Structure 1
Amino acid sequence: MAREVQQQREDPLIWMLADENLQEVLSRLHDRVDRQSWCLVCKKFLHLEAAGRKYVHVMRPEILEPVLRRYNQLEHLDLSSCVEVTDQCLAAVAKYTSPRLVSIKLTRTKGFGASGVRSLVECRSLQNVDLTFCTQVGDAEVIAISRLKHLQKLKLSACWNITDVGLSALSSCKELRILGLKFCTGIGDGGIQTVAAGCQQLCNVDLSFTEVSDEGLASLALLENLECLSLISCNNVTDKGLNRLRSGCKTLQKLDVAKCPNVSSHGIIALTDSSVQLQQLNLSYCKLISSVLFSSLQKLKTLQVIRLDGCAIGEANLSLIGSGCKELKELSLSKCQGVTDAGIVGVVATCTGLQKLDLTCCREITDIALEAIATNCKGLLSLKMENCLLVTSEGLVLIGRSCFHLEELDLTDCNLNDNGLKSIARCTELRLLKLGYCMDITNAGLVYIGATCRNLREFDCYRSVGVSDEGITAIASGCRRLKVVNISYCSSITDAGLHSLALLRDLVQLELRACNQVTSVGISYIAASCKHLRELDVKRCSFVGDPGVIALSRGCRNLRQINLSYTAVSDSGMMAVANLSCIQDMKLVHMKNVSIECFANTLLSCGSLKKVKLLTGLRMTLPSEVISQLEDRGTRLRWMEKPA
């Protein structure tokens, strides 16, 4: 108390502010660490933070009840990082949040059943429930959820035990607008028909990878507000189903039939003839798509996004898209056959408002296409050109000179050199830059990027062997807002390079695989400064050992994913890993210095562990009760047979 009085004497002005003024200041602190610092100032600041908190992401179920008691204005709760959420946990949620809770996220959690879900029904304001990959969820749980009369959004993806019985119960949710059933292989046409008849407000439905057929699809024509329909890999859907769907769906804006083997151009034409508002169309890997389709696309004047990945396309067809879809903002042609310079020229000549273009593995295009893109699409935001082997650095220079607004650029495995990088450095709005397998770039080229691309968030130079510490230092010094860095297999990188990367206080993901000159010293630099780090890959960094991992356990308390395979880590390092309370995903293959007993103790100690990759041999040597205990609490064990 004396400390607070002294603080008031030193800073009288701030203590004159009303609580609502202080809360306004707090609302402008978006960084989690800054908000934590605010809470440590005094008890009043701690109370104000709790009083205004609407969203909480809980990492461990044992702290759930204290958190719920503290944040008594909670509206949004995320439990997806907990391995196990029991019925008692959900009962506690209902007890403390029932008047206010609007959304709850339980993605990939285990441990609860119908009893717990029935508790949530007490949360009368609940509108959004996410049960994605909660594989234990079945009909009983869905029937309980159906009692939430204000439910608007429900995600049940990969809930394999749900059948038409449970699904039909949702027909009582009259306000339901978004329904995700991806990978729900137990449902059929009957359940879809009942939901469509009862939930007339549905506007977004995902039936991807289900057994739904033309009969179920036809019932969706009843939905007068349907805007988004996803049918990825629905093997039982044919042109007949799409034709029957056309009688309704006048408001359809997004249609995804990627990988539907029985959908052809005729089915798409039948549906799109009636869907005059269609804005997004995904036909990726639809093998029955033919030339007859492209003429019909000219009728879709509102089309803004079309994805044709993996389809066979001729240059004349691309020109048809260009002449008809003049509002096109995004075109994806990844791994398409028949994409040529002439086709690209035909599209970009008329679709001058194009913002995103994906030409991944379009191996026939050359600098001619790049010149057309640079000339016509000056507002381009994203360009992906991985493995476009006929494009030269001269063509990429043209992109740098004209497309100043680029935010994403993927040049993985392209013929890029330092001169090309010098030109690309003019794109000062770049947020993502991928330069993997670019064998001709050197540190000199990275210096250009570091000098101007201050907004860069993600940088990848995977296997670009000409990059060393000097180049990484230039990137780290100039691009201080980087969050994701991949320098795997850049064998010239040393601890000095990591010392530079430690400048990146916002770093959340770092991949150092096979950087065999990096040691525990370099990892300690990262651990001391990069407090936000969540993912680290040091696979095959043979000189990374216990000191580095111990430093990580002390400095990077938010670490959630780590790959220590083929490192020198021994028992003491693994014991430090056990102290990482947030760790969810570990890869621990060929760690010859770690004892079986230490493996067992570490795995059991990591209470948040959701997934772990281990060598197959450990399956026989780890105590069976350890394996059973991990599986019972929902940890996925992946057994790998890999050479040393």
Structure 2
Amino acid sequence: MDKRGAQGREERFGVKKDWLRDTTVLWSFAGGFGQMMFGFSRVMGRKRVLQELSGARDGLFSLLDENLMLSILDKLQDYEDRQAWCLVCKRFLAVEASSRKSVRLLRVEVVENVLRRYRYVEELDLSRCAQVDDETLESIGNLTGNNLRSLNLTHSGKFSENGLLSLVKLCPSLQLLDLSYCSQIGDLCMVAIAQLAKLETLSLFNCRNITDAGLGCIAAGCKNLRYLNLRWCLGVSDTGISLISNNCKQLETVDLSFTEVTAQGLASIAVLQNLKNLFLDSCSGVDDAGLACLQKLQKSLLVLDVARCQDVTDKGLMTLASDRAPLQKLCLSYCLPITDGLLARLEKLKSLQVIRLDGCVIAGVGLASIGKGWKALREFSVSKVRGVTDGQIRSVVERCRNLQDLDFTCCRELTDLAITSVAACCKNLRSLKMESCSLVTDKGLALLGSNCTALEVVDFTDCNITDEGLKHLAACTGLRTLKLGYCLNITDKGIKYIASRCNNLREIDLYRSVEVGDSAVSSLAYGCPRLRSINLSYCTKITDASLHSISKLRDLTQLEVRACSLLTSAGFVSIAGGCRKLLELDIKRCTSVDDNALLAIAYGCPNLREVNLSYCRITDIGLMAIARLSFIQNLKLLHLKGVSLDGLVEALFSSGALRKVKLLSSLRMVLSGLTTQAVESRGCRLRWMDKPES
């Protein structure tokens, strides 16, 4: 066998030579064939080996019981493993197709072919397909029919009420419909949706053309609703909310954030005896009188968010705090001064698991007095609260020892003593965020690394830590997200400590950590093969060698290398060859990058969604290569001296998927009004920016 051909197939299908592992699966053959043992982890995808074992195209696999095959398939959780399963033989492919209930697509053009193959799909996610139109919705209805239970159309801006009407007639069993950010839909679409009598979940996040009339239609037809998201639906008032409340008695979750709801609307919501989750973020009409109306929900309400409700005071919140209230999550961020009296009253909430006080002014004794009654507390957030001290944090963690998530972002008075207290008391800590706590040093991380080994998320952005601190932190081998931006004292040595032990790392942020170089990036690419997001912006020491290392990360979806002036097009050719799953790329101020890089990226990374090309030395050719990508939705195009006006206009019209483009304000006077109007009519928002040239 040609070794080069075998190697090529291994690279194509992600096959590694060590695929035979300790795991074993018992294969049972009906009709007296007995049992056979195969060691496997990724054995299902090794078509060549399995064909040799079977001696025929489908061989002994044709004798396998289908239920047994389905049982084995259920144990393959990794996407690539399941893809490899389909390569074994036609029997395996057919079994996988018959079992697939959920599909998420990136390209609207393949919808029909995919649904013809997977005839039993119940959940369809088209949130990445920006060009879903009426014809597509009708095809979905014809191919899925009564099987379809869930449909996600987030950011899809091309369909109308006619397409929705066709869909709901053909798919009457729909239970979940997500229309978030579908800015084109209005009350006529609600008339169509009202025909879905079985609908339980409806998200209309940021659908600003919907009014009370549309909600009235939903209320009349969708009486089984349990979840309703009206966040940023600016045309909704108390009247529409009242119609929903009076007709949809099964509602459990309602999001009215950024709407004009007042006490009158909350009074109607109070009749929903099953309501568990209520979100009122930034509702300027909500006040103490409105909260008083919610007293009727004390026995059912589990989550309450009144962040940024400026007219809510401690008096209003006290009416909701009682020994019998089962409230588990309370968000009071940026909404009122927190008094000792309110904190004392909140202590009665024995079931409280999450409390967020971000940006609040905490008066009196404050945090030092809380926690005695919150034995179940899991998450505590005081981000951007001034005056938080080590002693206050010690008091909280000593009383609430089951804490798993802590957010102390911008609590600038905290020192290593706070971390020492956390490490001593919170053995099950999963997330610790201490961005801009500049008094934190390596000393605090020593105890954290030894006591809190279950940590998964850590943010020490702009903290005074060094390589020695990272050596201690590396003991937290389960880390998945690590943010070390603006840590000016960490070097390649410290990053190597992390890479050698934290092999499950998915995201690392080294923004402006200027001492980090190629050696650190190489160690990350080798030691953390599951990395999906890397931020190396302003790490000016890195070269194309770093990009070559990063190209080995097959799962990478986000790469930021802003202002890394030593990077050239050759490095991005490597990225294009290896990181085919890349969705977001930021190369702003990479002044040595030219059209060759973009041509390679456009060819090798066809799924790109967002690209920042500002200040790059590219021409119309490079810009067009990116603009013509099928999925490109967000472009930042500031100070592109090599791009002509005609090239820019052509790029704006090249992709129907574009949703947002940043341009210099000076171009606003140059581009014709008809051009900008035509672009925006396609669902693309133009943001005009004033940015210096240098």
TM-score range, shorter chain: over 0.9
Partner of 2:686: 637
Distance 1:184 1:575, change over 3 A: closer
* Matched letter for residue 390 of structure 1: L
Write the distance in 2 (CA, Å) between the matches of 1:281 and 1:53.
38
Partner of 2:635: 586
In the alignment, structure 1 residue 111 sits paired with structure 2 residue 162: no
Distance 1:290 1:65, change over 3 A: same
Partner of 1:300: 349
Write the distance in 1 (CA, Å) between the matches of 2:182 and 2:467.
49
In the alignment, structure 1 residue 411 sits paired with structure 2 residue 460: yes
Partner of 2:60: 13
Q: How many residues align?
A: 642
**1:631–1:637: 8 Å Cα contact kept in structure 2?**
yes
Partner of 1:226: 275
Write the distance in 2 (CA, Å) between the matches of 1:39 and 1:610.
35
* Matched letter for residue 186 of structure 2: G
Partner of 1:209: 258
State the Cα distance separating 1:61 from its structure 2 match: 3.9
Write the distance in 2 (CA, Å) between the matches of 1:326 and 1:385.
23
In the alignment, structure 1 residue 69 sits paired with structure 2 residue 116: yes
Q: Could you tell me which of 86, 95, 98 is aligned with 2:142?
A: 95
In the alignment, structure 1 residue 83 sits paired with structure 2 residue 142: no
State the Cα distance separating 1:233 from its structure 2 match: 0.8
State the Cα distance separating 1:246 from its structure 2 match: 0.2
Moved more, 208-217 or 91-100: 91-100
Write the distance in 2 (CA, Å) between the matches of 1:599 and 1:19.
55
* Matched letter for residue 191 of structure 2: I
Write the distance in 2 (CA, Å) between the matches of 1:209 and 1:429.
37
Q: Mind listing any 5+ residue stretches in structure 2 that lack a counterpart?
A: 1-47
TM-score, structure 2 normalization: 0.88
Deviations, residues 116-149 of structure 1 (Å, cap 9, x unaligned): 2222321111011111122222222213212211
Moved more, 162-171 or 59-68: 59-68
Partner of 1:162: 210
Write the distance in 1 (CA, Å) between the matches of 2:644 and 2:293.
62
Write the distance in 1 (CA, Å) between the matches of 2:326 and 2:405.
21
Write the distance in 2 (CA, Å) between the matches of 1:143 and 1:541.
50
In the alignment, structure 1 residue 442 sits paired with structure 2 residue 491: yes
Write the distance in 1 (CA, Å) between the matches of 2:491 and 2:297.
57
In the alignment, structure 1 residue 134 sits paired with structure 2 residue 170: no
Moved more, 358-367 or 10-19: 10-19
Q: Mind listing any 5+ residue stretches in structure 1 that lack a counterpart?
A: none
Q: Could you tell me which of 536, 539, 542 is aligned with 1:493?
A: 542
**2:245–2:271: 8 Å Cα contact kept in structure 1?**
yes
The structure showing larger relative contact order (alpha-carbon pairs under 8 Å, at least 6 residues apart) is 1
Distance 1:428 1:60, change over 3 A: closer
Distance 1:583 1:33, change over 3 A: farther
Write the distance in 2 (CA, Å) between the matches of 1:34 and 1:563.
33
* Matched letter for residue 61 of structure 2: I
Write the distance in 2 (CA, Å) between the matches of 1:93 and 1:491.
49
State the Cα distance separating 1:203 from its structure 2 match: 0.6
In the alignment, structure 1 residue 383 sits paired with structure 2 residue 428: no
Write the distance in 1 (CA, Å) between the matches of 2:380 and 2:167.
43
State the Cα distance separating 1:194 from its structure 2 match: 1.9
Moved more, 326-335 or 154-163: 154-163
Partner of 2:326: 277
**1:235–1:260: 8 Å Cα contact kept in structure 2?**
yes
State the Cα distance separating 1:75 from its structure 2 match: 1.5
The residue matched to 1:505 in structure 2 has which SS? coil
Write the distance in 2 (CA, Å) between the matches of 1:30 and 1:558.
23
In the alignment, structure 1 residue 537 sits paired with structure 2 residue 586: yes
The residue matched to 1:121 in structure 2 has which SS? helix
Question: How large is the Cα RMSD of the aligned pairs?
Answer: 2.4
Partner of 1:54: 101
State the Cα distance separating 1:632 from its structure 2 match: 2.6
Deviations, residues 137-195 of structure 1 (Å, cap 9, x unaligned): 22222132122111100111222222222212222322110011111111111221221
Q: Could you tell me which of 199, 204, 216 is aligned with 1:151?
A: 199
Moved more, 308-317 or 493-502: 308-317
**2:98–2:120: 8 Å Cα contact kept in structure 1?**
yes
* Matched letter for residue 362 of structure 2: I
Write the distance in 2 (CA, Å) between the matches of 1:267 and 1:358.
26
Distance 1:21 1:636, change over 3 A: farther
Deviations, residues 472-516 of structure 1 (Å, cap 9, x unaligned): 222222111111111100000111111222221211111100111
Write the distance in 1 (CA, Å) between the matches of 2:473 and 2:106.
41
The residue matched to 2:365 in structure 1 has which SS? helix
Deviations, residues 514-538 of structure 1 (Å, cap 9, x unaligned): 1111111111111111121111111
* Matched letter for residue 94 of structure 1: G
